[in-house]
Amino acid sequence: MYKTKAYSATSATSKLASATIPRREPTDHDVQIEILFCGVCHSDLHQVRNEWKEVMPTIYPCVPGHEIVGRVTRVGRGVTKFKAGDLAAVGCMVDSDHTCPNCKEGLEQFCPNVTLTYNFPDKHETAPVTYGGYSDSIVVNERFVLRVPSNLSLAGAAPLLCAGITTYSPLRHWGVTKGKKVGVVGLGGLGHMGVKFAHALGAHVVVFTTSPGKTEDALRLGADEVVVSRDAAAMQEHASTFDFILDCVSANHDINAYVNLLARDGNLTLVGAPEKPLALSAFGLIMARRSLSGSPIGGIPETQEMLDFCGKHNITADVEIIPIQKVNEAYDRLLKSDVKYRFSIDMASLKSE
């Protein structure tokens, strides 16, 4: 075991503050990474404040962060994919059982024995739970370490590991390609990535937003059209025309308004998670054989595919870089959606703690 610097919360009501945490020495199949940037995901805030206590109670101290990029410092004897000095990334998962049917298919996100990057039982027993990326370094099984294309800005690449793969995976699963009409609902951390990917995949992209002020930005990010969702007439013009809609809204909203925009056999996938159950009219689905689904992150092979796609198309998240000392302020701003479109923590700032 060795000690490393981190920012952690000691209770649901305490602010994140400087701390020292243990990490394991790399075993034969582990990669040790010096963390350079870590994105701030809304899940970090939920878990730090124990807002998911029903399904995933937070164990304190909690070190969040699952949008990690950095440089390899050491590798175990059995590691073949990485060597010291390589760029590397880690997302929402750090291990799994490697043997179940999901793992065999490269769909580790569905493994019943997956280990999430933070606040999850640590099977190495270095600490009661895993500690995430608001930290100087991390040690991860090589299967869960990804290669980062060298042309990408590292600060902007960090959010690809959660916001990126969460939006890329359903677009690919539902066959978004050139010529398809794709809607993206909500232009936040997830939505802005959805727009970039759908555009790069060649789709005709329509952004739905409640804020007319976001129009210019949506077009800049790659949207072909922007619809203000409160404008019923504008919504009606698009009725029954979409092949696919990616719903990135985590606040409660009327899902039927979007189901009705799907063409025959169209699909709407939820990647935002409203707290309350959604009211859905069955007729909307039945009459045009439409479907509604959800999707979490993506498997490791697809996450690598996404990063390589980003390298090829030079896609990164739009980020505001902050020092770790500003993370509590960033959480308050996140609650007001006051960020374009993701905070990325420059981990060099942790060295002065």
Contact pick of 41, 79, 89, 226 for Zn ion (by CB under 5 A): 41
Work out how close the CB of 259 gets to Zn ion at its nearest, in angstroms, rounded to a whole number. Answer: 26
CB of 105 to Zn ion, least distance (A): 9
Distance CA 294, CA 270 (A): 5
Taking CB under 5 A as the binding criterion, the range among 157-165, 215-223, 277-285, 313-321 that sits at the site for Zn ion is: 157-165
Total residues contacting Zn ion by CB under 5 A comes to: 8
104 neighbors 172 (Cβ within 8 angstroms)? no
Q: Tell me the β-bridge partners of 33.
A: 72, 138
Is there a contact between 193 and 323 (Cβ–Cβ < 8 Å)? Answer: no
- State in angstroms the smallest separation of the CB of 47 from Zn ion: 10
User: Would you count residue 246 as binding Zn ion (CB under 5 A)?
Assistant: no
- Residue 50 CA to residue 40 CA, distance in Å, equals 16
| Smallest gap from residue 42 Cβ to Zn ion (A) | 7
Between 91 and 266, CB nearer to Zn ion: 91
CB of 300 to Zn ion, least distance (A): 11
Q: Work out whether 162 is an interface residue with Zn ion (CB under 5 A).
A: yes
> Which of 44, 43, 47, 67 lies closest to 317, judged by CA?
67
Contact with Zn ion (CB under 5 A) among 4, 8, 32, 43: 43
The residues near 351 (Cβ < 8 Å, ≥ 6 apart) are 5, 136
Residue whose token pair is 């025309």: 241
Stretch 71-110: interaction string toward Zn ion, x if CB under 5 A: -------------------------xx--x--x-------
C-alpha count within 13 angstroms, C-beta hemisphere, residue 117: 30
Positions touching Zn ion (CB under 5 A) are: 41, 43, 96-97, 100, 103, 111, 162
